[in-house]
Structure 1
Amino acid sequence: MPSYDLSRARFRLSDEHLLVLVQMATGEPVPEALFAEREELRECGLIDGKGLLAHVLVPLLDTLIDPAVVISLEAAGRQGELHHGMLIGQEHVISHRAWPGEREAEYSCVEPKMLVWALSDMVNLKQSGSTPQPGRVIETRVWTVEAGVRALEGVSLAEVEGSERAYIGKALAMDGTLGGAEAALLADLIAELRSSWRMTAAWRGRQAGQDGVEGRGFAVWDCGPLGYWHRESPAEPVAADQVSPDTTMRLVQVGPKRVWDLIAELLPEEGELRRG
């Protein structure tokens, strides 16, 4: 069910609820398939008895309908995939955060000056933790990494014979190209992996003198006590059809400050945005 917190101007809404609100805000009819979601919005008070939208929705809908920059965050972990993000409009910034197993995501306003901080909080960036070791790199194939990650899918820890790392190591050994020390480190990273996430930003710009969409992105492994690992290859933004099992994957350990800088560098400069 949709809901809202008036004291903090935040909302819990599903994709279907958003579609209803956008249709109504732009004067378009609501499809019959979304009548149930429209009634839920009415029951929670975001649509009144006359079919008018609550005024508190104005910043959200203005930004949703005409964003200048769209930031997407795709995070994968043992609880599945979650999609978060941020919409930067002409006057407002709106963040949205998903929750494991829940249909609705939380939408809320972000103070523009706090944008980088809000994005770093969205990926749970921590200043404390292990100290990165310069030059610590793992380079292997996408197939090898996927085999190690899949090794624990659908298997409870009670079913694992020996340590979790040994179980992952058996999957990695099937590749035969990793050295012993490198395979052991990769097994450690996968065992400690809290989430692998990629953050991308897109905006209206110009490509080769023509109007188009510009963007950039980067990807990180958050390995808890083993720190942050920047996935340099395949480099973001990358489409699924651009990656094959034999594509090189290169992970480089970085500190929290570097992750913060990557987030800040993701945002476009004023001169990169195409107005109108």
Structure 2
Amino acid sequence: MPSFDVTRSRFRLSDDEVFVLAQLATGQPVPESMEPAAARLRDAGLADGAGELSALLLPLMKTLVQPSVILSLEAGGRQGTLHHGLLIGDEHVVCHETWPGEEEAEYRLVEPRTVVWTLADLVALRQSGGETDEEVVETTVGVLEAGLTALEKAASVPGADERALVAEALGAAGGATAAPRLAELIVELRSQWRMTAAWQGRRDGAQGVAARAVAAWDCGPLGYWLRELPAEPLAEGAAGEGSPFRLRRVAPKRVWQELTALLPDAAELG
């Protein structure tokens, strides 16, 4: 059931409900298959029988329908993959966050001056830790996938030595050299995430969608690791089992810099 919190300009909405709101906001018909979502919105007081939206939704929908910059975050961990993001409009900024096992996401307005802080919050980035010695771990995508699969299996076995089982799988897949350190990283992995910024700009000299992306691992006590290979932006299916995979350990400050660099400047927005 959709709901809202007037005090903080935030809303809980499912994908179907967001679709219906976008249709209503742009004057488009709502498909019959979406009628259950439309009914829920009416019951919650966010739309009426004539298709008019509540005034509470206007800043949110204006930004959702006409964003200048879209930032998408895909974060994977032991609870599965979650999708969060940020929509930057001419006047407002909207953040949306999902929750493990929940169909609805929270949409809220955020202060435009805090965009980078909000992005950092979405990936649970901490400032503590100071400088750290850089370290590189290299293998292939196929070896990495073997390690992640081993971790998933080990997690379902009470008392299993996850690190030993992951290291064994990495070695069997041909990654013996990187196995000891990579096994540690995989076992301590809190989340592996990829954030992409997209906007209408110029690409290869012509008008089109421009994009930048950064990917990283948060390995808790073992720190932050930027994924340098496969390089971003990465098209679906572009990396195969034999593709090189490289992680570089960096200080939290470097991750903050990478998030800041995602945002286009005024010239890039045209």
Whether TM exceeds 0.5 here: the answer is yes
1:111 matched to 2:107: no
Tell me which of 161, 184, 191 is aligned to 1:188: 184
Runs (5+) with no aligned partner, structure 2: none
Distance change (3 Å), C-alpha of 1:99 and 1:149: same
Aligned to 1:254: 250
Aligned to 1:166: 164
1:231 matched to 2:231: no
Aligned to 1:146: 145
- Residue type matched to 2:250 in 1? V
Aligned-residue CA RMSD (Å): 1.5
- Residue type matched to 2:268 in 1? E
Aligned to 2:128: 128
The separation in 2 between residues aligned to 1:267 and 1:24, in whole angstroms, is 30
* Superposition deviation, residue 160 in structure 1: 5.0
Q: Secondary structure at 1:176's aligned position in 2? A: coil
Q: Secondary structure at 1:235's aligned position in 2? A: coil
Aligned to 1:14: 14
Runs (5+) with no aligned partner, structure 1: none
Question: Conserved in 2, the CA contact under 8 Å of 1:12 and 1:106?
Answer: yes
Distance change (3 Å), C-alpha of 1:131 and 1:168: farther
Q: Secondary structure at 2:90's aligned position in 1? A: coil
Aligned to 2:59: 59
* Superposition deviation, residue 133 in structure 1: 2.1
User: What are the Cα deviations for residues 126-148 of structure 1, in whole angstroms up to 9, with x where unaligned?
Assistant: 122486322x1001100111110
Please give the TM-score of this superposition, normalised by the length of structure 1: 0.94
Identity of aligned residues (%): 53
The separation in 2 between residues aligned to 1:99 and 1:55, in whole angstroms, is 27
User: What are the Cα deviations for residues 20-71 of structure 1, in whole angstroms up to 9, with x where unaligned?
Assistant: 1111111111111011111111111111355421101011111111111110
Aligned to 1:3: 3
1:96 matched to 2:96: yes
The separation in 1 between residues aligned to 2:132 and 2:150, in whole angstroms, is 27
Question: Conserved in 2, the CA contact under 8 Å of 1:130 and 1:225?
Answer: no
Question: Conserved in 2, the CA contact under 8 Å of 1:22 and 1:61?
Answer: yes
The separation in 1 between residues aligned to 2:264 and 2:116, in whole angstroms, is 12
Distance change (3 Å), C-alpha of 1:13 and 1:131: same
- Residue type matched to 1:142 in 2? V
The separation in 2 between residues aligned to 1:210 and 1:53, in whole angstroms, is 37
Aligned to 2:174: 176
Question: Conserved in 1, the CA contact under 8 Å of 2:130 and 2:252?
Answer: no
- Figure out how many residues of one structure are paired with residues of the other and give that number: 270
Q: Secondary structure at 1:99's aligned position in 2? A: coil
Please give the TM-score of this superposition, normalised by the length of structure 2: 0.96
User: What are the Cα deviations for residues 189-221 of structure 1, in whole angstroms up to 9, with x where unaligned?
Assistant: 000000000001000011233111111111000
- Residue type matched to 2:13 in 1? L
Question: Conserved in 2, the CA contact under 8 Å of 1:10 and 1:106?
Answer: yes
Distance change (3 Å), C-alpha of 1:165 and 1:27: same
User: What are the Cα deviations for residues 155-210 of structure 1, in whole angstroms up to 9, with x where unaligned?
Assistant: 4454454x21001111111123432xx31110000000000000010000112331
Distance change (3 Å), C-alpha of 1:160 and 1:145: farther
The separation in 2 between residues aligned to 1:21 and 1:50, in whole angstroms, is 13
Question: Conserved in 1, the CA contact under 8 Å of 2:154 and 2:162?
Answer: no
Distance change (3 Å), C-alpha of 1:154 and 1:46: farther
1:264 matched to 2:260: yes
Compare 39-48 and 244-253 and name the one that shifted more. Answer: 39-48
The separation in 2 between residues aligned to 1:48 and 1:264, in whole angstroms, is 40
Compare 152-161 and 120-129 and name the one that shifted more. Answer: 152-161
Distance change (3 Å), C-alpha of 1:28 and 1:43: same
Aligned to 1:24: 24
Distance change (3 Å), C-alpha of 1:7 and 1:177: closer
Question: Conserved in 2, the CA contact under 8 Å of 1:138 and 1:252?
Answer: yes
The separation in 2 between residues aligned to 1:240 and 1:160, in whole angstroms, is 36
